[in-house]
Chain A
């Protein structure tokens, strides 16, 4: 026998959000500020360039098609570079090279750093201490110097570039993932899972990971930008993506001297880097804002 009022209090259905996740996202997107819409359009353009580089670019990536240092013309809208390659085409191919490498690198660094971070937080003890101190040592070395050192030891292949930047970046991701997960592992639902004898992998992937995913996603966007800048910086120093493959960092370096002749050629790749970074950050900021607002 239960009290009528008790039943009323405890069983009254709460007003429940019936809209699907997709609809909610669409509603939030419609209310998003102009900067987000602008960034989405820009990112879509970048994506098209990356996917269809071969179709869109008027000339091949590495072929010499005209005289060197031609000014902008109808045939070569951005002119040609020192060897006489079409600058616009190289800009488009560079998008493909740089962005794809950045995505793969970020994915690897998140897989390694994120997983180890969650593991360290969940297990604690000597594993946490060991990983933590190892990461401290890696982080004590300036990342760019460290990457340069490793690249000069192992050689500058694209694979090495990806792995080395991923390793350097994974240290930051580890720190972040561990810090976020520390707040989750003390929750009683994690204790309940451990007390029922759940395995470590299940506990980490089902109980801890889903509750750390929002800040990790936001960090993913930011890390992507940093990787991107690191590649450009390394390329600028000559240890990144190797010629004759095009990438924005190298293109800035190769044409940097032109700026003193009043040429704006080196500014194009620099602007491409800057624009992408800004747009990704706009979107990440917005995602952070709505995900924190939805967390109830």
Chain B
């Protein structure tokens, strides 16, 4: 720890404007970063980790202000620094890598031109020199064909490649500090591991200091030398990575660490009759065939998890089952009866039996309807209740999802937290009294603690109501927690299908093996070990 201090924050306070009031976002946080050190910032959404990360560049989002404290970068005070002073630092000495590379690149220019922008603006290099450096850095972040890939446009490379190109771009001026804001959150596990490896290699080779922001503990364990846990704009705990992982001190940190221990209630060993059977389903969007001859089944009262990376066709399978995308071939059999391919041709009872819960609760609930309206409509539509009986049913549904009816009945979705919204989404599905609920990535948009609450709730409801779930997810931790059997999909085909214990224990299909080994462990040596094992 003899390295000199690069970034020093003292009592930083940041406030955000809501209406006429300023509400605190960061409530006085201290942060010290030495040269070449990687600091992990973790916390749930709303903890203020992105705001703090941006403050390291002296930047605040629109509607925010830094209301106190000091931010010193290499001895220079950033709070109250002039625009020109900040401009001289940003890109040159402090760089930023955003979560969504796709939204951060300008789609109208090729990668290498955007790479050269920084060095040219800061007068470090001319175009040809910086292009030569780009090739070297593209090589360092392990992009394929480093010589030519820069001349492609953002839409011509994959998401993981784009994220690596952005990391290379952040390094263009050889900055002293890079702020990584959830750089792998939007990526599949198999892509994530490549990006993590590339970032770690590049950072250590150039001796750059980094602030690595994420909500994923296993990821931060691979990347950071030291971890800071934030909650509600306060620092909860700070320690070296290994000590933090082995001996967390605060109750909140411990709860974060224990999240991944949830296990669904074990089911009896019997082999219940199949409720839903998918028989040789082939489906296509126009000429593009997305599902190839899919067959699987869901048993009554059991959970089937469908896993695969983005583009594997798992959401399309849900659309085929619900009838939104009528299959070209094959059929969907529910309880021994073949369903009409198109949902418009299905009867009310068929529609009622299969309900959906969506990934993003914000778009799944009508923002102009109150919770009571959202729940009452399907209850009335399917069960014909009205008046007092309908109101009681709404209250029962709210009680079922652990929300106090008196408090939540008259609220609009905008007045609910993410987890509460997702609970309302579950209650809306329950209102129809379905047999099968299709859960489409229901926990992906939620923080880990909240997600665990949702999984617990779904598990309890399954016990109480004898529900069957088709659980679509890309997150293998979720699969381990909830599934009775697992369907692994790749390129629209079923790679493996069987009971969880069988799919998750060797020998694996090669793709399942790749998928399983790409999920980070909470062990700081996991990345190194995995990369070595893969050669």
Residues of A within 8 A of B (CB): 2-3, 5-7, 9-14, 16-17, 31, 187-189, 191-192, 194-198, 206-207, 210-211, 296
* Binding-face segment, B30-38, B195-203, B272-280, B362-370: B362-370
Question: Is B367 a contact partner of A211 (Cβ separation < 8 A)?
Answer: yes
Q: Is the interface of A mostly helix, strand, loop or mixed?
A: helix
At the interface, yes or no: B127 with Cβ under 8 Å from chain A? no
Question: Is A188 a contact partner of B255 (Cβ separation < 8 A)?
Answer: no
At the interface, yes or no: B351 with Cβ under 8 Å from chain A? yes
At the interface, yes or no: B493 with Cβ under 8 Å from chain A? no
Interface residues of B in 443-461 (CB under 8 A from A): 447, 449-450, 452-453, 456
Q: If A2-B402, A10-B453, A191-B324 touch, does A196 touch B381 (CB 8 Å cutoff)? A: yes
Interface centre among A12, A187, A195, by most chain B C-beta atoms within 10 angstroms, is A195
Question: Is A296 a contact partner of B453 (Cβ separation < 8 A)?
Answer: no
Chain B residues whose CB sits within 8 angstroms of the CB of A188 once the complex forms: 358, 360, 363-364
Question: Is B415 a contact partner of A9 (Cβ separation < 8 A)?
Answer: no
At the interface, yes or no: B407 with Cβ under 8 Å from chain A? yes
Chain A residues whose CB sits within 8 angstroms of the CB of B369 once the complex forms: 206, 210
Question: Is B416 a contact partner of A14 (Cβ separation < 8 A)?
Answer: yes
In the complex, 6 of the A-B residue pairs with CB atoms within 8 angstroms, ordered by the A residue number, are: A2-B453, A3-B255, A14-B415, A31-B20, A195-B356, A211-B367
Question: Is B365 a contact partner of A189 (Cβ separation < 8 A)?
Answer: yes
Question: Is A10 a contact partner of B417 (Cβ separation < 8 A)?
Answer: yes
Question: Is B365 a contact partner of A9 (Cβ separation < 8 A)?
Answer: no
At the interface, yes or no: B313 with Cβ under 8 Å from chain A? no
CB distance from B412 to the nearest CB of A (A): 9
At the interface, yes or no: B2 with Cβ under 8 Å from chain A? no
Question: Is B453 a contact partner of A9 (Cβ separation < 8 A)?
Answer: yes
Q: Is the interface of B mostly helix, strand, loop or mixed?
A: helix
Question: Is A196 a contact partner of B452 (Cβ separation < 8 A)?
Answer: no
Question: Is B402 a contact partner of A9 (Cβ separation < 8 A)?
Answer: no
Question: Is A5 a contact partner of B381 (Cβ separation < 8 A)?
Answer: no
Chain A residues whose CB sits within 8 angstroms of the CB of B420 once the complex forms: 10-11
How far, in angstroms, from A13 to B255 measured CA to CA in the complex? 21
Question: Is A6 a contact partner of B453 (Cβ separation < 8 A)?
Answer: yes
Residue on B nearest A184 in the bound complex, by CB: B366
CB distance from A176 to the nearest CB of B (A): 19
Question: Is B402 a contact partner of A11 (Cβ separation < 8 A)?
Answer: yes
How far, in angstroms, from A197 to B364 measured CA to CA in the complex? 16
How far, in angstroms, from A210 to B352 measured CA to CA in the complex? 25
How far, in angstroms, from A9 to B417 measured CA to CA in the complex? 9
Q: If A10-B420, A16-B411 touch, does A196 touch B363 (CB 8 Å cutoff)? A: no
How far, in angstroms, from A12 to B415 measured CA to CA in the complex? 12
Question: Is A197 a contact partner of B403 (Cβ separation < 8 A)?
Answer: no
How far, in angstroms, from A67 to B142 measured CA to CA in the complex? 94
